[in-house]
């Protein structure tokens, strides 16, 4: 680290659990973020601010006026731009040292197979059930930790899947690949804007814990937020020994 970096990240370095080594781990890390919208915006901003050295953004959508109520990486002036380009501008304005890779396309299996293999950690910030399953399968295959967040209306949830751990469930252990779910989206159901920030920021925090080896990530634990009462509930999750994804990958 140079003198400017030592000053920029001094509040991290002051933490005994982080220090120089932890901050260097962030600088060396590669985060892959699927979705540059409501969850991806705060997650990416906090990872960039924290000094994660390389951030890859994957999203095939463009910025719409209706996004600006909650997708804080975008601005009115950037309506119509690809979300990945808009978010990249925000990240590099915040921290020009961060390398940002923009991929404006759907996160299909072939793309994820390539990108996940290069990542230190993956953040699932998308709003599509099939994409979540595809992201999960790639993370299991390449044994890369996955931080999964979701939110709709006043309800949010977050958990971590870590294929490096034999006891960790994967996304398919909780939501079977063969199940059919009706897609519920903000465009029809609505969402309270700050709650998206809460979950997205927590995804960034969990990613940093994984990168630095600090604390106890949310592996085997699903946190659920009721935004109306602002109460959290926690559910233990476990590996499904008959899971078609993680148990067949061994």
Rounded Cα distance, 226 and 11, in Å: 31
186 is catalytic: yes
Residue 44 is encoded by which pair of tokens?
Answer: 């990416």
31 beta partners: 55, 121
Query: Which residue has 């994804």 as its token pair?
Result: 245
Angle between helices 19-28 and 193-212 (to 10 degrees): 110
Taken in order 89, 94, 96, 101, is the CA torsion positive or negative?
negative
Both tokens of 127, joined, read 């709003």
CA gap 106, 201 in Å, rounded: 24
DSSP H or E segment with residue 30: strand 30-34
State the Cα–Cα distance between residues 106 and 204, nearest whole angstrom.
Answer: 22
Selected catalytic residue, list 125, 186, 243, 246: 186
**Angle at CA 114, nearest 5°, toward 196 and 206?**
35
- DSSP state for residue 34 in the 8-state scheme: E
Q: Report how far residue 51's alpha carbon sits from residue 22's, in angstroms, rounded to the nearest whole number.
A: 11
The span from the CA of 173 to the CA of 17, in Å, is 32
Q: Which positions are annotated as active-site residues?
A: 186
């Amino acid at each position: 680290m140079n003198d400017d970096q030592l000053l920029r990240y001094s509040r991290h370095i002051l933490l005994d659990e982080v220090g120089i080594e932890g901050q260097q781990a962030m600088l060396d890390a590669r985060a892959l973020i699927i979705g540059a919208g409501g969850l991806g915006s705060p997650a990416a901003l906090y990872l960039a601010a924290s000094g994660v050295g390389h951030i890859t953004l994957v999203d095939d959508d463009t910025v719409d006026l209706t996004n600006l109520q909650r997708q804080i990486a975008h601005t009115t002036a950037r309506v119509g731009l690809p979300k990945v380009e808009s978010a990249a501008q925000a990240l590099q304005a915040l921290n020009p040292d961060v390398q940002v890779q923009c991929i404006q396309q759907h996160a299909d299996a072939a793309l994820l197979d390539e990108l996940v293999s290069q990542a230190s950690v993956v953040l699932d910030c998308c709003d599509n059930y099939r994409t979540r399953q595809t992201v999960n399968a790639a993370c299991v295959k390449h044994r890369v930790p996955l931080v999964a967040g979701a939110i709709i209306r006043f309800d949010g949830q977050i958990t971590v899947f870590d294929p490096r751990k034999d006891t960790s469930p994967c996304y398919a252990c909780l939501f079977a690949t063969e199940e059919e779910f009706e897609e519920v989206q903000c465009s029809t159901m609505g969402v309270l804007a700050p709650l998206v920030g809460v979950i997205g920021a927590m995804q960034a925090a969990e990613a940093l814990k994984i990168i630095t080896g600090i604390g106890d990530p949310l592996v085997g634990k699903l946190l659920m937020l009721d935004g109306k009462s602002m109460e959290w509930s926690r559910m233990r999750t476990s590996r499904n020994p008959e899971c078609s994804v993680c148990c067949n990958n061994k």
